[in-house]
Amino acid sequence: MTTATITEVDNRQAQLQNLLNTQREAYLRDPNPDYHQRVNDLKALSRMICNHQDALVKAISDDYGNRSPVESLFCEIYAVLDGIKDTIKHLKKWMKPQRRHVALSAYPTSRNRVIPQPLGVVGVIVPWNFPVNLSFTPLASIFAAGNRALVKMSENSRHLADLLQRISGDYFPADKLRFIADEDGPDGGLGPLFSALKFDHLIFTGSTATGRAVMRSAADNLTPVTLELGGKSPAIVAPDYDLNTAAERILFWKLVNAGQICTTVDYLFLPEGSVDPFVEKARNLVQKRYPDLQHEDYTSVIDDRSYQRLWDTLDDAVARGATAIDLSDGQGRRDDPLRKFPPHLLLNVSDDMLVMQREIFGPLLPVKTYREGDEVVHYVNSRPRPLSIYPFTGKRSVSDDYIARIISGGVSVNNCVLHVAQHDIPFGGVGESGMGHYHGYEGFVTFSKLRPVFYQGPLDPLKLLMPPYGKTAKKILDVMIKMVR
C-alpha cells in the first residue's frame, strides 16, 4: 500500500477505536444498568422501528433494487418487534441471581449464587440479507443483558445504514448505540478493522469464509465470538408425506427473499419416483404465486456480482449434466436491470457441480433422490454440518431418527426456517455453520457474564483441615471421601 493508503487505513482504525473508547468509558461509569433502564432501552428499540417503519422498508428495498415490502414487514419488522416484546416479558426473571447448590455439605451456612452481569461493549457485524432483523434481534439481547453496542452494517445496505445513523441518535446516545456504515476502502471495507477491535463480545452473521477471518481477528484480542454462518441445509421428504404440502412449504421458504436466507433449503431429497409429480406441483405453485417476476412481490438479487454468480452456477450445473427446470415459464432475462433471477429446480445433480459445493443464496433448488433414509444420513454427515435440516414426515420415528443421526444447528419438522422464529429456543450453528447461540434467554446468557459468587457463612469447617495436619484432618477426609464414593 502507498503511504496515503496506509494513512487512510490508520485514520479509519483510529475513528473506530475512538467510538469503542467512548462506549467503554460509558460502561465503566455505569457498568450494571438496572431492570428499568434495560426495559427503557428495549422499548426505545421498538419505538425506533415503529416510528420509521415505512422508511426502513423503503431503505431496504432501495438497497436491493426491489425487496418485497411484505417480506420486509414479515421477516424484519414483525419478527424484531415480537422478539423485543418477548424479551421485555421475561427480562425480570432472567436478571434474577440464581441459587446454586453448595458442594461441601459441611457448609450449612454458606451459599452460592450465579449473578448475570453485563459484559461491556459488544460488536455486531450485520449482513445485507435481513439487515434490520440481524441488527435489532442481537441488540435486543445485548441491551437486555445491560451492554452497549457498535453495529457495523454491510456495504450493500448503504441506504439503510444512512437512515439508521440519522435516526438512532433520537433514541440512544452514541455511547450506548452507534451504527456504522461500511464503505469501500483500501482494505476492501471496514470489516477487518472492526473485527480487530477489542470488544467484550463480537457477533458476526455471514459466510463461513468471512467467519473464519473474523474469528482470526478476534483471536488476537481473545474476544469471544458468536458466529452465525451458513452452509447447505437439506430438506428431506419422506415417502409417507403429502407431496402437495411439502411443495407448498418448501417452495414458499425457498423463494422468500429470492432464496437469500442462510437457513433456507439449499437442496432437496425426494423419494425415488416422486420427482416428476413434485416438479409439476412446483411449476404450478410458482406460476400462481409469481405470475409476473417484475412485480414487487418477487425480490431482486442483491447486486450484479451475485446475480451473475447465480447464472454462472446454473450454467455450470447444466454443462455438467443437470436438467434445469425454469419454474417461471421462461420469464427470466440475463440482462434484467432489477436482477430478478427466475426460480429453477435442478435435477440429476452431482457433487462436482458448483451448486452442490457452495451455499447457493438464490432461487436455485437442486433435487436428489434416495431409496433408504440411510443414504440421506450418510450423504449429509459426509459433508460440513448444516445450519438446519428439514425432515418432512408424518412418522415421529422417522423425524426422530434424522434428528438423532444428523447434527445440525437447528431443525424444523414438516416446515422450514420456523425454528429461527421461536423465542424460547436458541438459534445457532454447529461446526462450519457457526458457533454460539442467541435469541431469547440464550441471547441474554450469551451477552452476559454469569458470574459465580460463593458467600462464606459464619462457620468455617475448613479450620479443621488447616495445617499442621494431624489425625483429625485425616479422619475427616476419610469420612468426606466415603460420602462421595
For 270, what's the count of Cα atoms within 13 Å in the CB-facing half-sphere? 23
| DSSP β-ladder status, 111-118 and 98-100 | antiparallel
- Cis, bond preceding 366 (omega within 30 deg of 0): no
CA distance 452 to 454: 7
Task: Assess whether 262 carries a catalytic annotation.
Answer: yes
Of 344, 363, 340, 345, nearest to 292 by C-alpha is 340
CA distance 285 to 454: 61
The CA distances from residue 435 to 58, 122, 430, 446, in Å, are: 33, 16, 5, 11
Grid-cell match 431418527, residue found: 401
CA distance 446 to 432: 19
Q: From the candidates 71, 76, 155, 262, give the one annotated as an active-site residue.
A: 262
Q: From the candidates 71, 76, 155, 228, give the one annotated as an active-site residue.
A: 228
Q: Which helix (H) or strand (E) is 88 found in, with range? A: helix 79-95
Provide DSSP, 335-401: T-TT--PPPEEEES--TTSGGGTS---SSEEEEEEESSHHHHHHHHHTSPPPSEEEEE-S-HHHHHH
Beta bridge partners of 427: 438
- What amino acid occupies position 289? R
Of 176, 184, 177, 180, nearest to 195 by C-alpha is 180
Distance between start and end Cα atoms, the chain: 66
Active site residues: 228, 262
